[in-house]
Amino acid sequence: MPSPRRLLALAALLVSTAAIIPPGHQGPLNQPPPAVTAPTTDNDAIAQTATQVNQKTAPPVDTPPNAVIPPVSVTAIDGTVTNTTVSDVAPNSNSKRRRRRFGKRQSGFEKIFDGLAADQHDASIEGTAYLTYTVVSNATYNVQDCLDWCTTIQGCEQTSADNRLTLKAADGESTASLTPDTPDGYELVFGPTDGANNAPGYMGFSFIDQYDVDACAQLCNGRGADPNGGGCAYFNIWRAVVNGVPTTYTCSMYYLVADESTAVNYGQGDLVVTLSRGYARKSALIDGGFEGYTACDTFCLTASYANWIGTSPSGGDTDASIIYFPAYAHTGNVSALLGAAFGDDADAGTLTPAQPLQTDSGANYVVQCFMASAFSGPQIEATAKVDILWNGVRVGGTSGYTEYTFVQASVVGTGSDKLSFVGGAAPAWTFIDDCKVYKA
Ligand SMILES: *[C@@H]1O[C@H](CO)[C@@H](O)[C@H](O)[C@H]1NC(C)=O
Ligand SMILES: *[C@@H]1O[C@H](CO)[C@@H](O)[C@H](O)[C@H]1NC(C)=O
Ligand SMILES: *[C@@H]1O[C@H](CO)[C@@H](O)[C@H](O)[C@H]1NC(C)=O
């Protein structure tokens, strides 16, 4: 015989359950989620830090020629000056580094300044983004050999006026900008322009010592998730020119994808923004925010639509659904629900994309979502549980009472992959929203 206290608790549970209007009937949330404003770019911190870093280098006197180009350095993180490498900052990112030599490419150099006459004291450059040096035949003043060699060095001709060549005497030559290769897992959104993004969803910035979009991509992939906004979804790389001198390269990171319309920070004080490009991280998951479900404009739900399929076990009713109702969504208007939408049974539903995910076989990916098991309050939702399955194998999930929380799981692509979310047991419902499947 249960103790009177336990009976009382059971009775309270029954009463509270009975009072709950299910999500399928547009029931109210146990507690409205706190309003969160997405932070925008902290331009002051970036400009301030740019005055503190010193990235000017030249070959040390005892370095042999043709030395391997050192890895990209991270010289500042979120306003703190550092001296570290990208792989130290983002150890789990497997974005491929394309630091290989090219065959001879089309070169297009312009002369930036002349050397002095032979009898006058001259000087070589100490500048930002020094890569390496070589020696050429001293039979003539051998500019062409220098240019030919430069075109074989990745990065040597990517940006203009960075003076990456150390010539025998101090003539400077540089190239017009070439478009860098888009990093693996990303797409170019805009650029190059002279405006940096001033956009919402800002996560922070790093300075690097070369204009290297792959390094920014690695930093974005390795950036810890924002608890309200999720993983890094976009970066903006640009070159800071201070008093006319290229000084550093900024990677600003965002959990919201920005575009050229907010690339309106042209600089401040002595700092001028140049070579600004935006790159968005590609998600292998189509419509992971469920916003493609637009069957109404206030409240409606469905078990399936073009992009997602919800299924119930036999005898179950609407155990997985997609609900258009902004109050339930993490962002936008729509979210998915696991657990019988109308409270008719306590079966677990299954939600899966309509198409298998197209991935690169063998590549690492990360599944990211926001999940909330809070609808019925802490007591009832204590048993809530959702599993993330990748080709039928559990790779992660959520359990217990929680407001919208960032959840992620690491997976490996096979080329065509089936993602599914399984769980919910009404009245311990779980909402899912803003899912992404990014290359790690
Ligand atoms: C950064 O660290 C490396 C390795 O520890 C060192 O060789 C280099 O001098 C440092 N650079 C600066 C600017 O402190
Ligand atoms: C080139 O270098 C060699 C070896 O150091 C030296 O003997 C020769 O005089 C140099 N030629 C010129 C034109 O400077
Ligand atoms: C949500 O609905 C509103 C009103 O219909 C619409 O303006 C808005 O674009 C929708 N949001 C998304 C993310 O689709």
Query: Could you tell me if residue 19 is inside a domain?
Result: no
pLDDT at 5: 60
- Among 14-18, 21-25, 127-131, 389-393, the range scoring the smallest mean pLDDT is 14-18
Upper half-sphere CA count for residue 164 (Cβ side, 13 Å): 26
Q: Which ligand is nearest to the CA of 81?
A: 1
Q: Is the CB of 137 under 6 A from ligand 2?
A: no
Closest approach atom of ligand 2 to CA 137: 1
Residue identifier of the C-alpha nearest atom 3 of ligand 2: 138
C-alpha distances out from residue 320 to 295, 310, 341, 418, 440, Å: 17, 5, 7, 17, 28
Q: Which of 297, 333, 334 to mutate to test the pocket of ligand 3 (most atoms within 8 A of CB)?
A: 333
Q: Is 295 in the pocket of ligand 3 (CB under 6 A)?
A: no
**Residue range 334-373, pLDDT digits in tens:** 999 999 999 999 999 999 999 999 999 999 999 999 999 9
Residue 193 shares a structural domain with residue 62:
yes
d(CA 80, CA 49): 7
326: domain CATH number is 2.60.120.260
Do both 204 and 58 map to the same domain? yes
Q: Same domain, yes or no, for 276 and 384?
A: no
For the CA of 88, the nearest ligand: 1
Query: Measuring from atom 8 of ligand 2, which residue has the nearest CA?
Result: 138
SS3 385: strand
Q: Is a pLDDT exceeding 50 seen at residue 4? A: yes
H-only helix segments in 223-325: none
Residue 11 lies in a domain: no
pLDDT of residue 104 exceeding 50: no
Whether 214 and 362 share a structural domain: no
- Residue partners of 158: CB distance under 8 A and separation at least 6: 175, 177, 178, 180, 211
241 located within any domain: yes
Query: Which of 100 and 147 is assigned the larger pLDDT?
Result: 147
Atom of ligand 3 nearest to the CA of 333: 1
Segments forming the whole domain that contains residue 82: 44-95+174-281
Using an 8 Å Cβ cutoff, are 170 and 124 in contact? Answer: yes
pLDDT digit string (tens) for 209-257? 989 999 999 999 999 999 999 999 999 999 999 998 889 999 999 999 9
* Distance in angstroms between the alpha carbons of the first and the last residue of the chain: 54
Tell me how far the alpha carbon of residue 289 lies from the centroid of ligand 3, in angstroms.
Answer: 12
Please state, in angstroms and as integers, the Cα–Cα distance from residue 190 to each residue in 218, 221, 236, 283, following that order: 19, 20, 9, 18
